[in-house]
Structure 1
């Protein structure tokens, strides 16, 4: 017994792993029977260390928190049985063995494990008695450092992966930022813009659409040369209730824009251009309503408006109503062309539009303002302006890139029978058609764009579009 206590004291003073190795070495040098007895003695001695006042070890099903109780709450029966200070603590199993302990001794003679709560080697079960003594140690020769060490190792490994992932993301973002800078830097070379158009009356008695193509109005706008080197303007207008509103907008909107365009140095070109567009739409609408109300009877015409103002390589898209602007951009990853919407449709069924109309005292019936008007924003339509219909456009900004092919502007007569993707693909197929012959005095590229506009407009009518159809394609030159 003295040797057992000596070995226990040694185990408590050294690392648990080293103690286990010493124990295995000691057991291997003993005969089987002596080794079994030594296991029992050592187990009891480790359970009740010398000089400590601990409660008896619980059963394997006891909670983990009960493995070592506070000495102040130890039952009196145990305190009375505790030895005097300085006296060796003798396990109860040696002083008065019970039948169960004798049975355990017989099982020990058969070679039981040191701690019978431990699972078999290689098992992942931690037993029913809570954490095991060395359950964080891996099997011998596994090369692992236990659950704690494995957790730390995994944590470091994950942090390493996170650092690599972060570095990879930063590298990716850096490369994207570099590409963006290259694009912006390369944007000093202004992309050329040229518009082509085709229009069809369709089944309507009157052609109420209108359009404007101004490939270069830089001299008219007289912008500050230090900030702006090129200004272009393209627009389509879809009239309803007559041709006068769309015709008025086509004649006057760009003129008002030129007059309001910034002439001197400005702090922010973007903010100045947006304010210019807002004022231009408001002024044009007010001018038409003033003229319309002076007539006997008053004009009830209205019109949508979708305008693309190109300032150097930046597009400003301002629109009212359901005419649309689409950008064809090549995607290098998918190696396909995509149709990007540059404008926002305005119809009374949209939540924000309907709320504005209802707050103004109007209502939406059958998807129309007061059951009549199909659009919720327009130029003209004086009788609906007090019902929430407005001339304030949505304005969007788009930076042109070398991957951009063309811009499509069209009225709803086209998009009633074509999706944006279908229209873009149709135009692309026309541009790749080598059978289109060059007209006299015109380059082949111009002939193909003109043919694309005409073919698309014709196809829309063939598909059954009963509305006026206007198709405008703006070629982006590189």
Structure 2
């Protein structure tokens, strides 16, 4: 069972950078989890022969952070050093890199002894001047937004998928409560060696497979806008379309990708995510630019919210923050960020409330589910992977 804190840790780790015509922003947050088990990697320029290539990845660890941290440090080198990659068979090179990393990592002392039983999902993108290669192993996800639409998304590897379930059963396992042997919530991952010991079967035929699904897309310089890579703490509460709509709406206000990535994880927290959250946002040359009209609309929205909060707190001597949130959600305020809704303005609401009611209780303790009735169907995960 997963372990949770009494209140979420909302401090964020951020990175940003640019190169090869790409810009990226990173945000990760521990949230309600007792440990932070996510890791990531973002590199533009991969050395002399691959200077015009870039690499981005998100790793969602479970049962510890050892495997996710090791993968973040070594997956790229494992891929580019394969014979297949060196001979321009990129798809096979990526697959071989995953398998080689998983095999090599098994020999780490703490993993070999069984003392550390951690594992990690992995989703990564290798971006060349002409193509985008995306690989996924587990239930972290990558989504490409082109011309305002999510035109590509990786497939989450869950034990209930027919092909995954068939492999698990053939390896002598079972799928119970949508988990491998009733325990692990993903059917593919790096690490997790206690699920990879079936004799007579190859690495991709085990209960849990380290094999990635690899896709390639030709780049469209004019229409490609951005690529999102994120762990399931984000996707648990946002659909592909919701996240693309939300990111596009924020790009109309700012080109600060760290800021946008922070807004994504904050919004997911307030939508009810109970998991660690990490996102890498990569923009292409065709990304939408901030507009004066969008900035004006956002200013007007915040003025409307502030006026309404002022009206609410003046209705009584001691109006609690939870009452303010519930009243605002009942108001159905127009012009809220698409895909984010009122949850996307939670920090702004809190800042206004604290200004008007500086002596009230800590608003972080307010249940996130009071914000939007529509998010209540997106139940927080009560079990760890």
State the TM-score, normalized to the length of structure 2: 0.64
1:345 aligned onto 2:156: yes
Matched residue pairs, number? 259
Structure 1 position 464 matched with structure 2 position 272: yes
Aligned to 1:363: 174
Q: Which runs of 4+ in 1 moved over 4 A?
A: 261-264, 292-297
Are residues 1:300 and 2:111 paired?
A: no
Q: Deviations over 1:362-412 (max 9, x none)?
A: 110010000000000000000112352111110111111120100011000
Greater fraction helix? 1
Answer whether contact 2:20 2:45 (CA < 8 A) is retained.
Answer: no
DSSP 3-state at the match of 2:69: helix
In the TM superposition, what is the alpha-carbon distance from 1:263 to its structure 2 partner?
Answer: 7.9
Alignment of 1:34-433 (within 5 A): 192-219=21-48, 222=49, 230-260=52-82, 266=87, 269=88, 272-291=89-108, 296-330=113-147, 337-385=148-196, 386=198, 387-401=206-220, 402-433=222-253
2:284 and 2:167 map into 1 onto residues whose CA distance is 37
2:20–2:44: 8 Å Cα contact kept in structure 1? no
CA distance in 2: counterparts of 1:472 and 1:263, whole angstroms:
24
Residue pair 2:145, 2:152 contacting (<8 A) in 1 also: no
1:255 offset after TM fit, Å? Answer: 1.7
In the alignment, the residues of structure 1 paired with residue 131 and residue 278 of structure 2 have an alpha-carbon distance, to the nearest angstrom, of 24
1:257 deviates by: 2.0
Deviations 1:32-51 (A, max 9, x none): xxxxxxxxxxxxxxxxxxxx
SS of 1:202's equivalent in the other structure is strand
From the superposition, tell whether residues 423 and 282 of structure 1 become closer, same or farther in structure 2 (CA, over 3 Å).
same
**What is the aligned partner in structure 1 of residue 263 from structure 2?**
455
Structure with bigger RCO (C-alpha 8 Å, 6+ apart): 2
1:292–1:300 Cα contact (<8 Å) kept: no
Once the two structures are TM-superposed, the CA of residue 326 in structure 1 deviates from its matched residue by 0.4
Structure 2 residue runs without a partner (length 5+): 1-18, 199-205, 287-385
CA contact (8 A) 1:191 1:476 kept: no
Check 1:261–1:410 CA distance in 2 against 1; reply closer, same or farther (3 A cut).
Answer: farther
**Larger Rg belongs to:** 1
> Residue 195 of structure 1: CA displacement?
1.9
